[in-house]
């Protein structure tokens, strides 16, 4: 993995130089999250807030998921742009291994998402009475597992979208409905059977279940199933994209 750190570092710098790069990915989620929290404290009494499932669990999990999905979408579009512009090919004509190039991009996204998430949760701490029983480390691990599997889906998308112009829209069309059906807005129990069946087939549903559970303070044992599904998704997508990925 020679060159991994140099490449990762340069890619972070390049990303932050993008107009809206730092602002769009790091600060906007923080601002939105805090604004929602502020609104909540205006509209409701503290006791109501503490009792509200939405404020206790769903919004923080939603924020985490959204940051992850946005990171993946941005990864998909960067990979497509790099491929179309011949940048990937130019990088591949050096001793850089393909895995190194892709890992660097994943790392960039992970690092930026982690920073965003930490800032978001920290800034919103006052407004979201998640209690002290949230296990930061546990939640981070759960999030990492989720992000890895979503990233692998992203790579699969990046492997097959034909042009950079379609990368972002196609990615959105695939990923955003997954959020809608993930059980975050409508619990699985309340869905009609057909929808529930569809929701069960989507990987994000398992991310939500895992993230909600760990945020609430569930034991890991209760979520072995979720982790297993996400691991399978990860392995499947990674294997498939390594077969169909195009460099130019």
Partner 1 sequence: MIAPKPIVKVSALRKTYDSFVAVDDISFEVFDGEIFGLIGPNGAGKTTTLECVEGLRTRDSGSITVLGLDPFRDIYKLQDRIGVQLQEAQLQKRIKVKEAVHLWSSLYRKPAADGDRLLEQLGLAEKRNARFMTLSGGQKQRLFIVLALINDPELVFLDELTTGLDPQSRHAIWELVRGIRARGKTVFLTTHLMEEAERLCDRVAIIEHGKIIDIDTPEKLVNKYCPERTVVLTAEDPRAEAYFRGIPRVEEVVRKEMRFTIRGSGDDLVTEVIRCLSENQIRVSDFRTVLPTLEDVFLRVTGRSIRD
Contact residue for partner 1 among 14, 39, 115, 190 (CB under 8 A):
14
Contact residue for partner 1 among 32, 50, 97, 218 (CB under 8 A):
97
Residue 86 touches partner 1, criterion: CB under 8 A: yes
Within a 13 Å sphere around the CA of 95, how many CA atoms are in the beta-carbon half? 4
Contact residue for partner 1 among 20, 42, 43, 95 (CB under 8 A):
95
Secondary structure (H, E, C), 56-93: HHHHHHHHHHHHHHHHHHHHHHHHHHHHHCCHHHHHHC
Residue 33 touches partner 1, criterion: CB under 8 A: no
C-beta of 114: minimal distance to partner 1 in Å? 22
Instruction: Give the span between the Cα atoms of 207 and 222, in whole angstroms.
Output: 14
For residue 93 the two structure tokens come to 């004509």
Residue 131 touches partner 1, criterion: CB under 8 A: no
Give 17 or 243: the residue with its C-beta nearer to partner 1.
Answer: 17
Q: How many residues bind partner 1 (CB under 8 A)?
A: 22
For residue 15 the two structure tokens come to 């990303």
Give 18 or 48: the residue with its C-beta nearer to partner 1.
Answer: 18
Instruction: Give the span between the Cα atoms of 204 and 222, in whole angstroms.
Output: 17
61 phi, psi to nearest 5 deg:
-65, -40
Q: Which residues bind partner 1 (CB under 8 A)?
A: 2-3, 6-7, 10-11, 13-14, 17-18, 82, 85-87, 89-90, 92-97
């Amino acid at each position: 993995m020679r060159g991994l750190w140099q490449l990762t570092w340069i890619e972070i710098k390049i990303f932050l130089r993008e107009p809206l790069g730092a602002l769009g990915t790091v600060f906007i989620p923080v601002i939105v999250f805090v604004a929602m929290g502020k609104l909540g404290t205006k509209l409701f009494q503290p006791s109501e807030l503490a009792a509200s499932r939405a404020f206790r669990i769903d919004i923080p999990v939603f924020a985490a998921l959204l940051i992850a999905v946005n990171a993946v979408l941005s990864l998909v579009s960067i990979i497509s742009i790099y491929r179309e512009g011949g940048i990937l090919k130019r990088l591949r004509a050096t001793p850089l291994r393909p895995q190194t190039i892709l890992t660097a991009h994943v790392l960039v996204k992970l690092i930026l998402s982690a920073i965003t998430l930490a800032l978001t949760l920290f800034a919103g701490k006052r407004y979201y009475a998640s209690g002290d029983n949230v296990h930061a480390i546990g939640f981070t691990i759960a999030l990492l597992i989720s992000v890895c599997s979503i990233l692998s889906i992203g790579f699969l998308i990046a492997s097959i979208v034909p042009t950079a112009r379609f990368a972002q829209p196609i990615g959105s069309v695939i990923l955003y409905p997954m959020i809608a059906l993930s059980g975050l807005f409508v619990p699985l129990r309340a869905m009609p059977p057909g929808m529930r069946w569809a929701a069960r087939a989507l990987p994000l549903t398992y991310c939500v279940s895992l993230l909600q559970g760990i945020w609430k303070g569930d034991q890991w044992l209760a979520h072995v199933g979720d982790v297993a599904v996400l691991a399978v998704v990860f392995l499947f997508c990674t294997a498939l994209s390594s077969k169909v990925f195009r460099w130019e």
